[in-house]
Amino acid sequence: MGVQFSQIIPPSAPLTEANVPSQKGKTFIGTGGYSGVGLELSRLLYNAGGHVYIAGRNQASAEKAIEEIMSTSKVPTSEQGRLEFLLLDLGDLSSIKASADQLVKKGVAVDVLFNNAGRGNVAPNSFSAQGLEVQVATNVLGAYLFTKLLEPCLTADRNADASPARVIWTASQIVDLLVPAGGHIMAHLTSPVEEQMKDLNACYTMSKLGNWYLATEYGRRHNSSSDNAVFSIAQNPGGLRSNFFRAYTALYAGLSQELSIERHQGVYVIPWGRIHPAPREDLLAAVKSEAEGGTGEAAKLWDWCEEMTKQYQ
């Protein structure tokens, strides 16, 4: 219980607005970047000089957030970054390619993609545009598809001394607390949608587990020795205090130089910026392949996501 308690009341954040290095010349994408944790992360990155694409489905909300961030910034103008809106609806798989293509066709080199957006606490019978349970559709399939379509921007040429791009996947402490023993995600995902919707809390829990699985599997497929190396990290932003504090966890996952792709590919970061010291043994087995002695649940999820999204790629 010590690890769980320390996620509720964490130690001090190692990376904050007080010591974050300049992000001038770097480009970030934050899905859901105009509300909650995403808004505060956008603020932190902008004030550090980063070029931030605030991605979401509500342009009016994004423009309001951009105006608020810029008007309240207390850093000198020369140190401020740039904010842009990117239309993105993760709940409609058919629309995601057009959003990613806006950046791919411009040849944008993305330094960090924060998969921050997610649906939770939804009303009963909330379906995605494709008729799927909306939390799983948005949090898992939408994040998977957008990340895959954005790969040319994540693997684009950078300076010789630049680190690989990072992808940050947003999980939750409920992965530790509420996921059933074994973390067998596929039995839930492949059941009829009507059956899934009988327990919407389970749908949300499984979607957050899915984000951790995708982080580990993406890292396995984009390791440091591959031509398409990308640093993949899962994070639990935390459940208490303000969104501003919770953004510190994502900031650490996205920017900390304590983390390296060679030693930390696929790690799970917890509040307010530290590697999870003791993930559940059954879930560690689930993210290992069967060849490694695991259950291969993460790979099964990856294959399911590929099958479910291939017509939209």
- CA atoms of 111 and 27, how far apart (whole Å): 5
On whether the CB atoms of residues 269 and 253 are closer than 8 A, the answer is: yes
Q: Is 242's pLDDT higher than 90?
A: no
Taking 90 as the threshold, does the pLDDT of residue 178 lie above it? yes
Mean per-residue pLDDT of the chain: 95
Structure confidence by residue, pLDDT tens digits, 288-310: 999 999 999 999 999 999 999 99
| pLDDT of 210 above 80 | yes
Q: Has residue 102 got a pLDDT over 70?
A: yes
Looking at the chain, the whole-number percentage of residues with pLDDT higher than 90 is 91
Please determine, for residue 157, whether its predicted confidence score (pLDDT) is greater than 90. Answer: no
pLDDT digits (tens, 9 = 90+) for 42-87: 999 999 999 999 999 999 999 999 999 999 999 999 999 999 999 9
Among 46, 144, 208, 252, the active-site one is: 208
Catalytic annotation present for 204: yes
Residues 270-295 as b or e (16 or more Cβ within 10 Å = b):
bbbbbebeebbebbebbbbeeeeebb
Given a cut of 60, whether residue 1 has pLDDT beyond it is no
Mean per-residue pLDDT, 22-50: 96
From the candidates 34, 46, 53, 204, give the one annotated as an active-site residue: 204
Give the pLDDT mean for 1-27.
86
Nearest to 214 by CA among 304, 79, 285: 304
Q: How confident is the model at residue 160 (pLDDT cuts 50, 70, 90)?
A: low
Q: How far apart are CA 65 and CA 69, in angstroms?
A: 6
For residue 124, the model assigns a pLDDT of: 93
In the predicted model, is pLDDT for residue 10 greater than 80?
yes
Q: Looking at domain 2-312, which of 3.40.50.720, 3.10.20.90, 3.40.50.300, 3.40.50.150 is its CATH number?
A: 3.40.50.720
Encoded amino acid at 152, one letter: P
Banded pLDDT at 241 (limits 50, 70, 90): low
